[in-house]
């Protein structure tokens, strides 16, 4: 007699697949977020390799990175409120893990619409290495009143730059070519999240590129540009500032010009007011001799302004540069431009970023004077914007 053997196969649950481990390293938990924020995510496999990391800010997908370091930049705006950050790591097997961080609003004694002001502080040590400073080394005074530092860092905050090149009659073709080479070097040295636009001008705009971080795009179409014509410096600077209006984060203008304006319709006083509102950092690379940046090389009158008017415009330009926290670099030769641009880029990389919620308020449009006291600066030259307009 044959026996029937019944074999029962018992299904055992398959072990759960190992998922990636994901952590939001930066910003730190409990930190209030304002303006441009650098987010750093760490993701490591616990099974299949990590394929990508996606970042969501306030429930909106803002970026994806497929290789470490997983770094993103988000715009938190200036409103004092809570923000949500989510990082989703996905591995090659399709498994995913999410890390979440809630950034609280800044605590204030009075419930008001707090708008964080940021100061970008440059310390020139003359090339010497100096120990990193701490928040306790800085004292911020607004109209004489001490302010509490809410955010502090010395990190590489992404910037958007407008590079303004004067191609008027005072600039020879060889000088213009050298200036363009300096622009290429500047853009090649920018980081992935930095962007720049090139504006070449004489009595009108000759070339305007889109914002980009590709050198080939930034210098596209420059081969046929010939230097010549008058100089509409104020008009071009005004346009550069307006192009930065809708850009977030740190804003920079680098101007190459002798500073003599012939054709502009827009007065420099108006340009200065726009620069104040935008809080754009302005660097002026001036072709000339050391010391002659304090006055025009010659007295002249134009169809738009008399001699005194042009002198006032020149003085307004100088004041706008210093008021922004930037500085004037006098070039004996255009050949010095690449080295000067490299120094400017290094300065931008090493700036301290201080955020504070102003306690002094007098109404929208009011100008507030800023003083910054720095301890342990080691004799370094300190540059910071001289004030801001209340919003």
Q: Tokens 């010549």 label which residue?
A: 228
Cβ atoms of 205 and 199 within 8 Å: the answer is yes
Read off the DSSP letter of residue 104.
P
* Average pLDDT for the chain: 85
Interval 342-359: pLDDT, tens: 999 999 988 999 999 999
For residue 292, name the pLDDT band (cuts at 50, 70, 90): low
Interval 161-211: pLDDT, tens: 999 999 887 777 778 888 888 888 898 898 888 899 999 999 899 989 999
Query: What's the pLDDT at 294?
Result: 52
Of 124, 142, 183, which is closest to residue 325 (Cα–Cα)? 124
Question: What's the whole-model pTM score?
Answer: 0.70
pLDDT at 12 over 60: no
For residue 141, name the pLDDT band (cuts at 50, 70, 90): very high
What is the four-CA torsion angle of 119, 61, 191, 233, rounded to 10 degrees?
-60
Domains observed in the chain: 21-103 (2.60.40.10), 117-154+351-389 (no CATH), 159-349 (3.40.50.410)
* Residue-by-residue DSSP string for 195-232: EEEEEEESSSEEEEPPSBS-HHHHTTT-TT----S---
CA 278, CA 241: separation in Å to the nearest integer? 7
CA 297, CA 259: separation in Å to the nearest integer? 9
Residue range 25-30: mean pLDDT, rounded: 88
């Amino acid at each position: 007699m044959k026996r029937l053997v019944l074999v029962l196969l018992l299904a055992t649950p398959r072990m759960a697949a190992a998922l990636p481990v994901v952590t939001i390293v930066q910003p730190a938990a409990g930190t209030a977020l304002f303006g441009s924020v650098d987010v750093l995510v760490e993701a490591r496999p616990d099974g299949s390799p990590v394929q990508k990391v996606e970042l969501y800010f306030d429930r909106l997908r803002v970026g994806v990175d497929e290789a470490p370091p997983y770094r993103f930049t988000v715009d938190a705006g200036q409103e004092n409120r809570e923000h949500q950050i989510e990082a989703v790591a996905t591995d090659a097997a399709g498994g995913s893990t999410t890390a979440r961080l809630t950034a609280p609003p800044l605590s204030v004694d009075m419930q008001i619409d707090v708008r964080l002001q940021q100061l970008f502080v440059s310390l020139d040590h003359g090339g010497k290495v100096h120990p990193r400073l701490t928040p306790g080394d800085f004292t911020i005074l607004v109209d004489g009143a001490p302010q509490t530092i809410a955010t502090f860092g010395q990190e590489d905050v992404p910037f958007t730059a407008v590079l303004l090149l004067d191609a008027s009659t005072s600039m020879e073709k060889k000088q213009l070519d050298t200036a363009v080479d300096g622009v290429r070097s500047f853009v090649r040295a920018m980081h992935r999240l930095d962007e720049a636009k090139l504006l070449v001008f004489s009595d009108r705009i000759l070339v305007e590129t889109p914002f980009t971080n590709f050198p080939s795009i930034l210098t596209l179409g420059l081969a046929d540009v010939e230097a010549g014509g008058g100089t509409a410096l104020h008009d071009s600077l005004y346009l550069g500032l307006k192009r930065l209006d809708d850009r977030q984060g740190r804003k920079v203008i680098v101007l190459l010009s002798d500073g003599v304006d012939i054709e502009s319709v827009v007065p420099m006083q108006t340009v200065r007011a726009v620069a104040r509102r935008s809080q754009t950092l302005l660097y002026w690379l001036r072709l000339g001799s050391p010391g002659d940046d304090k006055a025009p090389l010659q007295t002249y009158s134009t169809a738009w302004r008399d001699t005194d008017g042009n002198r006032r415009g020149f003085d307004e330009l100088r004041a706008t540069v210093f008021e922004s926290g930037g500085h004037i670099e006098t070039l004996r030769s255009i050949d010095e431009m690449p080295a000067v641009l490299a120094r400017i880029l290094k300065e931008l990389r090493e700036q301290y970023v201080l955020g504070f919620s102003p306690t002094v308020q007098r109404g929208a449009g009011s100008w507030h004077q800023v003083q910054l006291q720095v301890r342990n600066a080691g004799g370094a030259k300190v540059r910071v914007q001289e004030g801001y307009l209340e919003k």
